[in-house]
Structure 1
Amino acid sequence: MDMAHFPVHIEKGWDEQRIESLIHIQNEIIEQFQDVPRFTKKEYEKFPIPVHLHKYIKEQMDFSRMRPEMCPPSGHLNCAPNRESNKVIPLKNTREVIDYVDSTLHSMIEEWTDQQMVYSNMYGVRRYSYGARLALHVDKIEDKIVSVILNLAQKTTTPWPLYIIDSNKKINRIYLKAGEMLFFESARLPHGRQEEFQGEYFDNLFVHYRPLNWDHENIISTDERF
């Protein structure tokens, strides 16, 4: 993949460690795009969040404990010590939410991938605020192979796309409305939100799965299934 066609954003004030991290992320994109096998015909697909699940998660969001998201020395997010563009909204009963989310999505993920899948982890709710960006990246090859992004709520000035580069190296813009979710092959397909977010908030929950008996250290790339 020729990464020259996909410019990256470097936030003012980033130190050398954060810039090196961004370079590492770009190298991961190239390696995983080539090495991680393809699992689905469609690669990504939008669905409505089941009404009962959407309602349950929103009821579990604890705004009284909302806090700025930590700003690690990584180029993944455009955070900086003097700028807060993302927040975390904790859940009231995290373990119960995980069980409820997985019990709802697990069979859907297995049907979509046509194979047995294992729940890996869940992150969020992350609230993106005005000015947020998300660098083009691929998810961790260890356990975030197929992922779900659930958009729980948003208040935007301009629709905010998720960019996904598919197997044909085509750049696709995906727009999620509140109450919609996206299934996609997140460890293989480069994705990000490189455009600056225009609006008040954009609340996402992220759920990750891996194939049964997944062995990331012995990957053999093949598209023979498709």
Structure 2
Amino acid sequence: MSGTDSPTPYQPTERTTLTRASARGSYDRPVVHAILDEGYVCHLGFVRDGAPVVLPTLYARVGERLYVHGSTGSRPLRMAGQAEPGLPVCLTVTHVDGLVLARSAFHHSINYRSVVVHGLAHQVIDQGERAEALDALVEHVVPGRAADSRRANAKELAATAVLSIDLAEVSAKVRDGGPNDEPEDMDLPHWAGVVPVSRRRGAPVPSDGLTPGIALPEYLCAL
């Protein structure tokens, strides 16, 4: 989303230091931002009554802050509004880029790009920031859409809440390339390689009852 990428990388912490395949890790802000900006759904983890809970939800990045969408009645939103200094959370975003098929079952893998964010979630109370965050959530899914839709009314705003999480403790991890077979397996009679996986948008389907004459917006034609 918006925000200028800083050349300064994120600083590793105990929670973001990679312990396995550390060479695949990155703390570069442009790498982290690109992975976050390409996704739609994150998984938000927190602890409730001593047990872990992980929920899928929409998110958007504005500079060095993530906004997470939710209902005012949802657990993390209620807990974030009550917790001081904030609700401890772990947020993840992952893209699958390929299925890696090796000659041995052990070395099968997946090419992926992922980001893990640790931090404190806060309920956004300021009305100006909340309006900006809600616009960002719409724009993140379809750029250009926020200005081409009715803004939320008072009743809808009362039922909608937003969490904010600052990007401070962050790490990215990327796996690409082919299989890492053992030298003694190279001559085995099994196909090996990568099956690419990509996300594809289909042609827009108009809603039932769409007023005749409303053309497909240019921002959808560009998808």
> TM-score normalized by structure 2?
0.29
TM-score by length of 1: 0.29
Q: Which has the larger radius of gyration?
A: 2
Instruction: Say which structure is richer in strand.
Output: 2
